[in-house]
Amino acid sequence: MTPTRTLHDAGQSLWLDNITRGIIDDGTLERYIRDFDVTGLTSNPTIFEKAIGSGEHYDAQIADLAATVADDDQIFFELAMADLRRACDLFADVHRRSAGLDGFVSLEVSPELAYDAEATVAQAADLHARMDRPNVFIKIPGTPEGLPAVEETIAAGIPVNVTLLFSSEHHLAAADAYYRGLERRVAAGLSPDVPSVASLFMSRWDKKVEGRTPAGLENRLGLAIGGRAYRNYRELLDSDRVQRLMNAGARPQRLLWASTGTKDPAASDVLYVDGLVSPFTVNTMPDGTLEAFADHGTQPPVALPRDGGDADEVLGGFEAAGISVDTLAAELQQEGADSFVASWRTLLEAIASKRAALAGTA
């Protein structure tokens, strides 16, 4: 049995943290689904910036769209949706087989809306309608300003991937927004069966403290953050609030482990996969991490303890060294939002440059 199959059988969904037209055209995504048990994928502005800005896969569609679409951001969404609709169709069987739990792809609202809830809600509704697929999540940042947009979007019946979460506190705030949206649907006599995932970013924690990590705790901060979050997640699933909603027909929001590619070349290249094995969660991996785990992931997988294992002890070691986890979480969320905005702007510049070049005016 392959490592990816044993991980899948342990109750965890394996998603790909990548999307390019090339991996759809050449059959790579189909191979991942068939051979590596991949059951969904995520995208973000950085992924699309790299995909669209390099190569020629998108040139023909950019040239066609340039004749009728004036705004570069709308050209981007047309490019992205063309890829993601095809990916949705590839995962359609998974979506049906899992009764709508799995088989999702994610499309993110403009990162420049991270602090504008009203505009985020409007764009989320527009993108979801234009995608015209049942298995698409709209990604909304879990910033304080973004959480009301999560609630409104869920209340409107649109599946949401809450992104840019970095701590258990961030995750619980996102979950609260999700469940408020479901409670509003129940009160209105509507179905609360609106799926969601909450994306907790992992590897950036260890990168953030590089060079000032207490002795013996190298590359353990991210997993400790995950352990604490998992304990609180399991407690939330057992709460009266969630149980009441499940009794009304809801399915709980799943915790998703994001940013699971190892950034330290001295550490295991499957560190954030081996260390985060957990049922009723998702691990979304870059291509390289997925390939590495398929080749040499730990077998059999060792499940993350329900109580988070040694998470509190490890986090206590960082706090004792003067490293505030709460401060770092706020910094990481702001840096993540800023990074996505920068990628978004670079992406739009690349599209504008390609438009000009294809029109012969560059």
Contact 48, 26 (CB under 8 A): no
Label residue 162 left, alpha or beta by phi (over 0 means left) and psi (-120 to 50 means alpha). beta
Instruction: From the candidates 139, 207, 208, 263, give the one annotated as an active-site residue.
Output: 139
Q: Residue 160's beta-bridge partner residues?
A: 138, 196
User: What span, in angstroms and rounded, lies between the C-alpha atoms of 115 and 336?
Assistant: 13
Q: Which two tokens stand for residue 140?
A: 């909304």
Amino acid found at 149: A
Distance of CA 362 to the CA centre of its chain: 36
Q: 50 an active-site residue?
A: no
Which of 130, 149, 33 minimizes the C-alpha distance to 84?
130
Q: By CB neighbour count within 10 A (0-12 exposed, 13-18 middle, 19+ buried), where does 339 fall?
A: middle
User: What span, in angstroms and rounded, lies between the C-alpha atoms of 225 and 348?
Assistant: 34
Q: Which two tokens stand for residue 89?
A: 């169709």
Q: Which two tokens stand for residue 60?
A: 């023909």
Measured at the CA of 263, the angle between CA 261 and CA 267, to 5 degrees, comes to 95
Q: Which two tokens stand for residue 237?
A: 């699933």
User: What span, in angstroms and rounded, lies between the C-alpha atoms of 157 and 179?
Assistant: 12
Give the SS3 label for residue 161.
strand
With residues binned 3-state (H G I as helix, E B as strand, rest as coil), the percentages for the chain, rounded to 5, are 55, 10, 35
Phi, psi of 205 (to 5 degrees): -60, -50
* Helix (H) / strand (E) containing 295: helix 287-296
Residue with tokens 């989320």: 124
Residues designated as active site: 139
